[in-house]
Amino acid sequence: MAKVRTRIAPSPTGDPHVGTAYIALFNLCFAKQFDGEFILRIEDTDQSRSTPESEQAIYDSLRWLGLDWSEGPDIGGDFGPYRQSERKAIYEKHCQQLLDDGHAFYCYRTSEELDQLRAEAKETGSLQALKPSVLKLPEEEVAKRKAAGAPFVVRMNVPEEGECVFSDMLRGEITVEWSQVDAQILLKSDGMPTYHLANVVDDHLMEITHVLRGEEWINSAPKHQLLYKYFGWEMPELCHLPLLRNPDKSKLSKRKNPTSILYYQRMGFMPEAVINYLGRMGWSMPDESEKFDLQAMFDNFDIQRVSLGGPIFDVEKLKWLNGRWLREDLTIEQLAEKLQQWAFNEANLLPMLEHFQPRMDVYSDLAPAAGFLFSGMLPLTAEDFSKASKLEEDKLLEVLQFALWSLESLRVWEKDEIFSSLKALSGAMDVKLKDFLAPIFISIAGTTSSISVMDAMVLLGPDISRARVRHSIEVLGGLGKKKLKKLDKAYAGLST
């Protein structure tokens, strides 16, 4: 058997997700079981959403968890480059090969035409996917649009009918009707490949033997299988892992659960406990033990022990497990050391003390004033908000939700950026800045008489800050789906 090679292929957009760590863990365990390699590839073909900060956060958070890779953009390897944006020429060459062999075609359809084709497909009901026969324009029309320099994409040919059968390591054979499969775009109008082309080309060239990924990619498998066939390559074994879920069984979402790994780090969870908990997501030790470390997981791993029922990611359970690790596995000396590493160190204290020294007379003034910077969620009540702000409760919720969206969209977590986005928002909402900031102040610091709320947010970092605003929305009764939808519309309509 060829040497087992698995990979994780995250896109560097937004916060590093616990789902990424979960998939990485299972890929690493699988590779270890067969003495293989686990590699990291960065899928940054979506240039408008990918950021270097997010890429760095992926490295930092996976390392914090101890999920080490043996090849990757940051450490190199024999199959590089490992960042897709650096492999453009490779994809172009392969795309050209598909065009030359008649497996792909140039598509000059405008977005209006595509909308119309989709609407028509919906009306007829049976065919939902956009098939080549519908998309392809007469040759003269293609020539005309080409001569006019119109934008184009390259799409793959897909069968119009029949069945595609592929196999999954956990699910066995899966059958999909070809009529449901789009003539997938392979090369976008900006010249960048789509996920599908880049992923297949890279998995092949990087000699990946087993693709363990989230079940949300099952629908892509027929296209991938066809691409492997077009190229004349062997397809890696596929294994789609069950998606993590919120306690109410919906797909894990940040609205219901913190999803950023950095949040768990900032909250003071132990990486051992997070790994232990992720290892229990759909998998169990042969002896069903609840508490185990990464090495024990390596030693006992068997992918067939993954059960397909959606594993529930429950922060309360994780916290309970973390408590066991903290109490059972750390000596007092080790706990002291961990706490130092976590927050009680110069790097963390110096920027904090800069803000508190002017407010201190004696050392003991620090703990009551700065306690909120060492805490998780604050014990707030609706009254705390009504006392601090004259805004009606509905307006308070609106301010907090809009502020949250605005904070979530910030790429750079610095005082000026935070301030200018919140100020713009208060202007657009026509709420006085002071009134606007009061509920945010309460959410972040529990009081309005602390250091500047912007400084507090910088010190707390984006993960805890956002989680506290989210928590405050819940404290104020929360927002149902309907209300949220309405707010979403209003937010989109604001000119900030």
Q: In the chain, what's the furthest Cα-to-Cα distance?
A: 84
Told to judge if 254 belongs to the known catalytic residues of this protein, a careful annotator would answer yes
Cβ closer to ligand GLU: 224 or 466? 224
Cβ closer to ligand GLU: 225 or 465? 225
**Residues lying near ligand GLU in the complex (CB under 6 A):** 9-11, 43, 195, 199, 213, 217
Cβ closer to ligand GLU: 107 or 187? 187
Q: In angstroms, what is the minimal distance from the CB of 210 to ligand GLU?
A: 11
Distances in Å between the Cα of 159 and the Cα atoms of 44, 138, 156 are 29, 19, 10
Of 254, 319, 432, 485, the active-site residue reads: 254
Among 202, 212, 192, 210, which residue's Cα sits nearest to residue 79?
Answer: 202
Cβ closer to ligand GLU: 203 or 398? 203
Are the C-beta atoms of residues 209 and 4 closer than 8 Å to each other?
Answer: yes
Between helix 315-329 and helix 271-279 the angle, nearest 10°, is 130
Cβ closer to ligand GLU: 88 or 118? 88
Q: In angstroms, what is the minimal distance from the CB of 11 to ligand GLU?
A: 4
Cis-peptide into 311, omega within 30 deg: no
Q: In angstroms, what is the minimal distance from the CB of 45 to ligand GLU?
A: 9
**End-to-end CA separation in angstroms for the chain:** 58
Among 164, 94, 166, 105, which residue's Cα sits nearest to residue 131?
Answer: 105
Strand 153-156 to 185-187 pairing? antiparallel
Q: In angstroms, what is the minimal distance from the CB of 85 to ligand GLU?
A: 13
Cβ closer to ligand GLU: 155 or 240? 240
Q: In angstroms, what is the minimal distance from the CB of 118 to ligand GLU?
A: 24
Q: Measure the CA–CA gap between 434 and 424, rounded to whole angstroms.
A: 13
CB < 8 Å & 24+ apart, contacts of 321-330: 321/273, 321/276, 321/277, 321/290, 321/291, 322/269, 322/270, 322/273, 322/274, 324/273, 324/291, 325/270, 325/272, 325/273, 325/276, 325/291, 326/270, 326/273, 328/291, 329/272
Q: In angstroms, what is the minimal distance from the CB of 22 to ligand GLU?
A: 11
User: Would you name the residues annotated as active-site residues?
Assistant: 254
